[in-house]
A = this chain, B = another copy of it.
Amino acid sequence: MSQYTAPLADFRFVLDDVLDAQAQFARLGHADATPDVIDAVLEEAARFSGSVLAPLNAVGDQQGCRHDPATGDVTTPEGFKAAYAQYVDGGWPGLTAAPEHGGQGLPHLVGTVVSEMINGANLAWGNFPLLSHGAVEALRQHGQDWQREVFLKPLIEGRWTGTMCLTEPHCGTDLGLLRTRAEPVGDDAYAITGTKIFITAGEHDFTDNIIHLVLAKLPDAPAGAKGISLFVVPKFKVARDGSVGERNAVRCGSIEHKMGIKGSATCVMNFDGAQGWLVGEAHGGLKAMFTMMNSARLGVGLQGIGLSERAYQNALRYARERLQSRALSGPKRPDKPADPIIVHPDVRRMLLSVKALTEGSRMLAMHAGSLLDAASHADDAAERERAETLVSFLTPISKACQTEWGIENTYNALQCFGGHGYIAEHGMEQLARDARITTLYEGTTGIQALDLAGRKTASSRGAGLKLFLAEVEAFCAAHEGDGELAADIATLRAKCVEWSELTTGMLQAAAGNPDELGAASWDYLFYSGYVVLAYWWLRARAAARDSSMPAAFKDAKREAARFYFARILPRTLAHAEAIRAGAGPLMALDADSFGD
């Protein structure tokens, strides 16, 4: 059985030593986010995730959710509902929500940390509250006054949960194809009819009501993505005065049998003339959808980190306990029949690789959280815009890299166990199965790559990249002449120059042939991700040197940074070469000739 303990020391290191979070909280007017409050929140989240959620992780995998075809009800695994009640009682659903809607108004940066803990403890369980955040954002930003009035408070208090109903059997990425219809039925209401699939937490037994945010087309909708509208469709009808009425015509038709996250209910939702109301403008659903999507993408990125952290903790414990063979350089524990496998260089390669990618990802994700705060709360409009542009640029990198690295990390951690990793007993194989969804939902890695290369780079003339490169250069310039960092600064600067050149090359090629953008996108995404992480490891190395953390912690940061630059960052060489190869080797073969 795998275990999980929230990595509080590392969270504090990133908050205090790397990001200087308290200074930002003060600057942004988060008067409540004092060191004491933040500490208490982290401690309590660590307790809740470690002692309530973590033990339910294997239970969820073993029992899964159950669907009753007669009623459409979904029963969650034993203990899930009670844990959710504790979560609500603790006020967690509204941690970062605005106080005027019943939230606690704490910084997103703190919410990021808490989310990582929940995901590390129990990813499947974490999916139930996750999508409420997106629903809240969509209603807050695009909803009518009465909708905000009626829906936000119960969602933020966690008495209700929210969903995002986008995908249909024949369309996922290409939502312009969707067939769900919304017919006006008077009094500003609509009858929603259609089938949505892969609806996370579409049905469950946690709460009295479930608020679906549904993409559908109005009768006069233009074709394609420009004809999509967003509707709010509660499981139990809610009147404009907030009173809850009869069951709405929406039911869960079945749940999916999946590779992992078995404790999470993935529902087919049938809307059969269900009562709904328009959210935002008619045919303006795509914009509202991106509001939900961006929040969910950063959330899924945190799933990759949570799983990686849990995988690391368990692999490290095993590598210290498992005795097998002697160190090549001579016995390290002559008192034992063999040395612990952590003496072997290749086991260390796997462990350090997990550590470097996990802790690096954590800095990236927490930086994104701090940018969300600046985008919402900075006094200066220019700073808000800068933060918005930067977090928007970093979102596809965070989502895709953190989840792909999550798969690599759970792979390596399992590999440390040898054959024992493959059997259910140690819990490592569950982590690998659970991780596999994260590069698929909320936009596959390929979609993130297109988002980065297209919308976030080509369409914005590289605005996000320029801001990020300026931040890197500011750090490098500030540490000019720092002997310990000099070599890594030089490496990072060279990578930044190459990153700019690759970007220019990609955009120029794409101007002549649009396929060049798609052909470069995946390697461009990873090239970007590895350089971003190099920046964070450089900062971590500098921060660790001046930190008051214990010596062992600081040693580990220094060595993980060294490992990252020596052993991980060289992957950029392969990605750069692949980008330069262009679209030719991808596009020449006729689709009929790929095979029978």
Confirm or deny: A240 has a beta carbon within 8 angstroms of a beta carbon on chain B. no
State the CA gap A7–B596 with chains docked (Å).
9
State the CA gap A325–B446 with chains docked (Å).
13
**Structural contact, B595 and A432, CB atoms closer than 8 A:** no
A345-B518, A418-B173, A515-B327 known; A588 and B559 CB under 8 Å? yes
> What's the tally of chain A residues with a CB closer than 8 Å to chain B?
106
When C-beta atoms are compared, the residue in chain B nearest to A552 turns out to be B593
**Structural contact, A355 and B418, CB atoms closer than 8 A:** no
Confirm or deny: A351 has a beta carbon within 8 angstroms of a beta carbon on chain B. yes
Confirm or deny: A386 has a beta carbon within 8 angstroms of a beta carbon on chain B. no
**Structural contact, A567 and B562, CB atoms closer than 8 A:** no
A346 proximity list for chain B (CB < 8 A): 446, 449-450, 518-519, 521-522
**Structural contact, B518 and A328, CB atoms closer than 8 A:** yes
Confirm or deny: A342 has a beta carbon within 8 angstroms of a beta carbon on chain B. yes
**Structural contact, B419 and A343, CB atoms closer than 8 A:** no
**Structural contact, B429 and A415, CB atoms closer than 8 A:** no
A429-B436, A585-B563 known; A313 and B595 CB under 8 Å? yes
**Structural contact, A172 and B589, CB atoms closer than 8 A:** no
**CB within 8 A of A345: which of B323, B429, B587, B594?**
B587
Confirm or deny: A85 has a beta carbon within 8 angstroms of a beta carbon on chain B. no
A424-B258, A573-B573, A594-B556 known; A445 and B588 CB under 8 Å? no
Confirm or deny: A440 has a beta carbon within 8 angstroms of a beta carbon on chain B. yes
A445 proximity list for chain B (CB < 8 A): 415
**Structural contact, A256 and B316, CB atoms closer than 8 A:** no
Interface residues in A179-212 by Cβ distance below 8 A to B read 198
State the CA gap A591–B567 with chains docked (Å).
19
Residue from the set A174, A419, A552 with the largest chain B CB neighbour count within 10 Å: A419
Q: How far is the CB of A9 from chain B (nearest CB, A)?
A: 8
State the CA gap A123–B237 with chains docked (Å).
51
State the CA gap A9–B415 with chains docked (Å).
35
A444 proximity list for chain B (CB < 8 A): 415, 418
Interface residues in A248-292 by Cβ distance below 8 A to B read 256-260, 266
A515 proximity list for chain B (CB < 8 A): 327-329, 345
**Structural contact, B559 and A567, CB atoms closer than 8 A:** no
Confirm or deny: A81 has a beta carbon within 8 angstroms of a beta carbon on chain B. no
| Interface stretch (choices A22-30, A156-164, A214-222, A574-582) | A574-582
Interface residues in A335-393 by Cβ distance below 8 A to B read 337-338, 340, 342-352, 355
**Structural contact, A567 and B594, CB atoms closer than 8 A:** no
Q: A interface vs B, CB < 8 Å? A: 5, 7, 9, 167, 170-174, 177, 198, 256-260, 266, 312-313, 316, 320, 323-325, 327-329, 337-338, 340, 342-352, 355, 407, 411, 414-415, 418-419, 421-425, 429, 432-433, 436-437, 439-441, 444-446, 449-450, 513-515, 517-519, 521-522, 552-553, 555-556, 559-560, 562-563, 566-567, 570-574, 577-578, 581, 583-596
20 contacts between A and B (CB under 8 A): A5-B596, A167-B419, A171-B324, A177-B323, A259-B423, A259-B433, A313-B595, A316-B595, A328-B517, A340-B591, A342-B591, A345-B518, A346-B518, A415-B439, A415-B444, A552-B592, A559-B589, A567-B578, A570-B581, A571-B574
